[in-house]
Chain A
Amino acid sequence: MSTLPADDAPAHQPSTDTASTHKVPDAGAYPPVLLAEKLSKQVTSGERSLNILHDLSLSVAAGESVAILGKSGAGKSTLLGLLAGLDTPSDGELTLFGQPLSRLDEDGRAALRAGRVGFVFQNFQLLPTLSALENVLLPLELSPRAGEDHVAAQWLERVGLGERTGHLPKQLSGGEQQRVAIARAFVTDPELVFADEPTGNLDPDTGAQIIDLLFTLNREAGTTLILVTHDHALARRCDRCLRLANGKLEPFEPVSANGGGNE
Chain B
Amino acid sequence: MSDLNWRLAARSLRRDLRAADVRALFIALMLAVAASTMIAFFLDRLERGLERQAGQMLGGDLVLEQREPFSAELRSTLEQAGFVLSDQVELVSMISRGDRFQPASLKAVDDVYPHYGVSHVDIGNGTEQIASGPPVGEAWVDPRLAQLIEIELGDRVQVGQTELTISGIIEREADQSGGFGNFNPRLMLNTSDLEATGLVQPGSRIEFELLAAGPPAALEQVQGLLGELRRAGVDVRDVRVDRPQLGNALQRAESYLGLAGLAAVLLAGVAVAMSTRRYVERHLDTAALLRCFGASQYQLVMIFTLQLLGLALAASVIGALLGLVGQAVLLWLLTSFLPMTLPPPGIMPLWLGIFTALAVLVGFAGPTLLRIKQVSALKVLRRELDPLPPSAWLVVGVASIVFGGLLWLYSGSLPLALALLIGGAALLGVLWLVSSLLLSGLLKGVQRLSGKSEWSQAFRLGGRQLARRKQAGLGQLLAFSVTFFAMAMIVLVRGDLLTTWQDQMPDDTPNYFAINIQPSERDAFEDAVAPRVETQSTLYPMVRGRITGINGQTPRDAVPPDARGDNSLRRELNLTWQAEVPEGNQIVAGQWFTSAGESQGFMREVDATPISTNEITPISMEDGLAQRLGLGIGDELTFSVGGDTIATRIESLRSLNWDSFTPNFFIIFPPGVLESFGHSYITAFHLPDVEQGLIRQLVSDFPGVSLLNVDAILGQVREVLTQVTRAIELVLALVLLAGISVLYAALTASRPARAHESGLLRVFGAGTKMISRVQGAEYALLGFASGLMGAVLAELATAALYLYWLELTPRLHWGLWVMLPLGGALLIGIIGHVLSYSLRRQAPAASLGLLGEA
Partner of A114, one of B16, B286, B293: B293
Q: Mark B61-89, 1 if CB is under 8 A from A, else 0.
A: 00000000000000000000000000000
User: What range describes how many residues of B lie at the interface?
Assistant: 20 to 34
With an 8 A cutoff between CB atoms, is B12 at the interface?
Answer: yes
From A84, A130, A146, give the contact of B15 (CB < 8 A): A130
Q: Interface majority SS on B: helix, strand, loop or mixed?
A: helix
State whether B378 touches A141 (Cβ < 8 A).
no
Question: Across the two chains, which residue of chain B brings its CB closest to A169?
Answer: B853
Residues of A within 8 A of B7 (CB): 141
1/0 per residue, CB under 8 A from A, across B1-32: the answer is 00010011001100110110000000000000
Contact (Cβ within 8 A) A138 B381: no
What is the CA–CA distance of A85 and B853 in the complex, to the nearest angstrom?
26
B218 at the interface (CB under 8 A from A): no
CB distance from A146 to the nearest CB of B (A): 6
Indicate if the CB atoms of B4 and A142 lie closer than 8 Å: yes
Nearest chain B CB to A67 CB, angstrom units? 17
- Chain B residues near A138 (CB, 8 Å)? 8, 289-290, 293
Cβ of B713 under 8 Å from chain A: no
Interface centre among A119, A139, A141, A196 (most CB of B within 10 A): A141
B291 at interface by CB-CB < 8 Å: yes
Hey, what's the 0/1 contact readout for A191-203 against B, CB within 8 Å counting as 1?
0000010000000
A80 interface hit (Cβ, 8 Å): yes
The verdict on A87 contacting chain B, using a C-beta distance below 8 Å, is yes
CA A98 to CA B772, docked complex, whole Å = 60
B292 near A: Cβ within 8 Å?
Answer: yes
**Contact residues in A for B11 (Cβ distance below 8 Å):** 130, 134
Complex interface residues of chain B between 274 and 327 (CB less than 8 A to chain A): 285-286, 289-299
> A185 — nearest CB in chain B belongs to which residue?
B293
A148 to chain B, nearest CB (A): 13
Q: In the bound complex, what is the Cα–Cα distance between A139 and B15 (angstroms)? A: 18
With both chains docked as a complex, state the minimum distance between the C-beta of B808 and any C-beta of chain A, in angstroms: 51
A142 touches B380 (CB 8 A): no
Q: Which stretch, A4-12, A121-129, A151-159, touches the partner chain B?
A: A121-129
Interface pair B381/A111, CB less than 8 Å apart: no
Question: Nearest-CB distance from B456 to chain A (Å)?
Answer: 38
Question: When A113-B294, A114-B294 are in contact, do A130 and B12 touch as well, CB less than 8 Å?
Answer: yes
Tell me the chain B residues, 40-69 only, with Cβ under 8 Å from chain A. none
A130 partner residues in chain B, CB cutoff 8 A: 11-12, 15
CA of A128 to CA of B381, assembled, Å:
17
**Contacts A129-B19, A138-B289: A87 and B294 contacting too (C-beta < 8 A)?**
no
Q: A77-B382, A87-B376, A130-B11 are in contact. Are A119 and B292 (CB under 8 A)?
A: yes
Answer yes or no: A107 CB below 8 A from chain B CBs: yes
- Nearest B-chain residue to A110, judged by Cβ: B294
Q: Which of B294, B297, B382, B853 counts the most chain A CB atoms within 10 A?
A: B294
On chain B, the residues within 8 Å of A84 by CB distance are 292, 377
Q: How far apart are the CA atoms of A112 and B296 in the complex, in Å?
A: 10
- Whether the Cβ atoms of B296 and A81 lie closer than 8 Å is no
> What is the CB-to-nearest-CB distance from A222 to chain B, in angstroms, rounded to a whole number?
21
B293 and A107: CB pair below 8 A?
no
Residue-by-residue, is A214-255 near B (CB-CB < 8 Å gives 1, otherwise 0)? 000000000000000000000000000000000000000000
| Cβ-defined contact, A119 with B380, below 8 A | yes
Q: Closest A-chain residue to B852, C-beta based?
A: A123
**Knowing A130-B11, A134-B11, A141-B4 touch, does A81 contact B294 (C-beta < 8 A)?**
no
Of all chain A residues, the one with the shortest Cβ separation from B292 is A119
Q: How far is the CA of A86 from the CA of B853 in the complex (A)?
A: 22
Q: Quick one: which of A107, A113, A129, A196 has the most chain B CB within 10 A?
A: A129
Contact B15 A86 (CB under 8 A): no
Question: What A residues does B12 contact at CB under 8 A?
Answer: 127, 129-130
Tell me the bound Cα distance from A53 to B298 in angstroms: 31
Find chain B residues with CB under 8 A from A125 CB: 285, 289, 380
* Residue pair A142, B377 in contact (C-beta under 8 Å): no
| Residue A63, interface by CB 8 Å | no
A128 to B424, CA, bound (A): 41
- B378 contacts A110, CB within 8 Å? no
Q: Within 8 Å CB of A86, what residues of B?
A: 291-292, 376-378, 380-381
Q: Please, which residue of chain B has its CB at the minimum distance from the CB of A140?
A: B293
**A115 and B294 form a contact (CB under 8 A):** yes
Complex CA–CA separation, A177 to B286 (angstroms): 16
Give the complex CA separation of A39 and B297 in angstroms.
26
A263 in contact (CB, < 8 A): no
A142, B286: Cβ atoms closer than 8 Å: no
Q: How far is the CA of A121 from the CA of B381 in the complex (A)?
A: 8
Contact A110:B295 (CB < 8 A) given known A125-B289, A141-B7: yes
Which B residues are in CB contact (< 8 Å) with A139? 293-294
Which of A77, A81, A87, A142 lies in contact with B293, CB distance below 8 A? A142
A17 contacts partner chain B, Cβ-Cβ < 8 Å: no
| A112, chain B: closest CB distance, angstroms | 8
Q: In the complex, what distance in Å separates the CA atom of A114 from the CA atom of B292?
A: 8
Q: B8 touching A141 by the CB < 8 A rule?
A: yes
Are A142 and B298 in contact, CB atoms less than 8 angstroms apart? no
Q: Choose among A80, A115, A128, A141 the residue that contacts B853 (Cβ–Cβ < 8 A).
A: A128
> Are B377 and A110 within 8 A (Cβ)?
yes
| Residue A178 is within 8 A (CB to CB) of chain B in the complex | no
Bound form: Cα–Cα A89–B557 in Å: 85
**A142 to B381 CA separation, bound complex (whole angstroms):** 20
What's the nearest-Cβ distance from chain A to residue B347, in Å?
36
Distance in Å: Cβ of A74 to nearest Cβ of chain B: 14
Find residues 87-120 in chain A having any chain B CB closer than 8 Å to their own CB: 87, 106-107, 110-115, 117, 119
8 Å CB contacts to A: which residues of B604-651? none
A40, CB-defined interface residue at 8 Å? no
Chain A contacts for B853, CB-based, 8 A = 128
| Complex CA distance for A130 and B290, rounded to whole angstroms | 13
The residues of A that contact B15 with a CB separation of less than 8 Å are 129-130
Identity of the chain A residue whose Cβ is nearest the Cβ of B380 in the assembled complex: A125
Given A113-B292, A128-B853, A141-B4: A81 touches B297 (CB 8 Å cut-off): no
Given the complex of chains A and B, what is the CA–CA distance between A112 and B294 in angstroms?
7
Q: Does A59 touch B at the CB level, under 8 Å?
A: no
Q: Chain A residues near B377: list those with CB within 8 A.
A: 84, 86, 110
Which A residues between 51 and 81 are near B, CB-CB below 8 angstroms?
77, 80-81
- For B378, list chain A residues within 8 Å (CB): 81, 86-87
Which residue on B lies nearest to A108, using beta carbons?
B296
**Selected contact of A127 from candidates B289, B291, B295, CB within 8 Å:** B289
* Residue contact A121 to B380, C-beta cutoff 8 Å: yes
Q: In the complex, which residues of chain B have a beta carbon less than 8 angstroms from the beta carbon of A141?
A: 4, 7-8
What is the chain B residue whose CB lies nearest that of A85? B377
A46 to chain B, nearest CB (A): 15
Contact between B296 and A107, CB atoms less than 8 A apart = yes
Say whether B289 contacts A106, CB under 8 Å: no
A to B CB contacts below 8 Å, 8 in the list: A84-B292, A86-B376, A86-B380, A110-B294, A125-B285, A138-B289, A139-B294, A143-B294
Top 6 A-B pairs, shortest CB-CB distance: A114-B294, A129-B15, A139-B293, A86-B377, A113-B294, A107-B296
Residues of B within 8 A of A (CB): 4, 7-8, 11-12, 15-16, 18-19, 285-286, 289-299, 376-378, 380-382, 853
Can you add 4 more A-B contacts, CB < 8 Å, to A106-B297, A115-B294?
A: A107-B296, A112-B294, A130-B12, A142-B295
